[in-house]
Chain A
Amino acid sequence: MLLLITGSKDGTSSLLISEIGNQNVFRFNYDLFKDYTLEFTPNYWKISNPTGHSIDSNSVTSCFWWKAFNFYLMDQEEFVVEEVKYIFRELYHWCRLRGITKGNPHDFHNHMGKMNILSIASKHFRTPRTLTSFGLGGVKSLGEMPIVAKSFTSGLTATNATLMTTAVIKESLHPDFPWFLQELLSSKADITIFVCGKSFFAYTRDRSQLKGLDWRAEQNFQDMATKEWFRFNLSTQLQKSVMEFCADLNVDWGRLDLMEVDGEMVFLEFNANGQWVFLDYSNVDGLVKTVCDFLMS
């Protein structure tokens, strides 16, 4: 049985269960922790939901963490929140230590962030010139190259705003702030490659109609019948580069983001727990089934 650690409102999790079958999955929702009965000792654990459906350390065959902490516990003391989070992490790592977790830990990027991933990627792909700076250190070395500012965390400001990829002028950057800068790339297409086990699903999105630089800021949530991402076949060389990159990073799950620049693929970033349903929400490419087979393998 698959232990799916997630949040109750997550639609991707519901999609997975509809494909795998309710009886083959136990959904453990972080935001509904009070609904469950948990018995957890160092060598045994069992979780039951209100209907009596249960999973334990003997019946679990795989474990997948999906966006559990993207939801928050309402009306709880900070102490309770942190205790519950600790327990969810411990349960996940109990499975990880026994080699039955699928995908990547939710805190993967706390140990392998964008700069280090770019370093690894540079052995397999062309990568953009990138600089992280305090006190504008290293900014002069960028010369006259046009640059963009990006965010490491996609975190929110106090006014609930977020830094999307934005063109900036080096001379206007305030020295008292952290800057994540990258060369501005002129590209006709965004590329994303979803990695699921040994399967790679490559998609391209036209940039010619973008008003800004970041496709994430211009997604069409109102008309999802309009396809924005189109699947294409990876070249032999690109497939080899993706395979070797994943081997170096020791991953078999996640999403690589690239851009096509003058016919060449330029690596931008790897998302260890990136979304993927949006690539194939009509389910014509079989992403959901492939993911389910991967999770149950």
Chain B
Amino acid sequence: MVGGQNYLPQFFKGRKMLIELITPLVLATSPMAIIVPETANYSHGTQMVAMNSAKDVLSITFNGTRTYDYRGQPNDSDND
């Protein structure tokens, strides 16, 4: 067991069967959502977003890795 995952290849060893081919798109899953609080207002005076704790920091910025175009579509990501 590796991190709770079964070792899949052992199941298929020695078995002849029709395997449906997989694609990266099929393997993709919904990423963890980053919720920006409605009350997260930026102030030019303080040059900060009003925050109460580090939790607010992480809920706004965590793991944001992709850049976006004008349609909000991801583009030229910089990786996390």
Contacts and interface: CB of A to CB of B under 8 A. Distances in A.
Contact of A10 (B3, B5, B60): B60
Nearest to A23: B47
A138 to B, nearest CB: 17
A76 to B, nearest CB: 5
Interface residues of A, number: 92
Chain A contact residues: helix, strand, loop or mixed: loop
Contacts of B76: 69, 107, 110
B33 to A, nearest CB: 8
Nearest to A75: B70
Interface residues of B, number: 57
B70 A51 contact: no
A263 interface: no
Interface of A: 8-15, 17-18, 22, 25-27, 29, 32, 35, 49-51, 53, 67, 69-73, 76-78, 80-81, 106-110, 144, 146, 149, 151, 153-157, 159-164, 166-169, 171-179, 184-187, 207-213, 216-217, 219, 221, 224, 269, 271-275, 277-278, 281-283
13 contacts: A22-B46, A35-B44, A51-B45, A106-B78, A108-B78, A144-B9, A163-B27, A172-B20, A221-B59, A224-B55, A273-B79, A277-B58, A281-B58
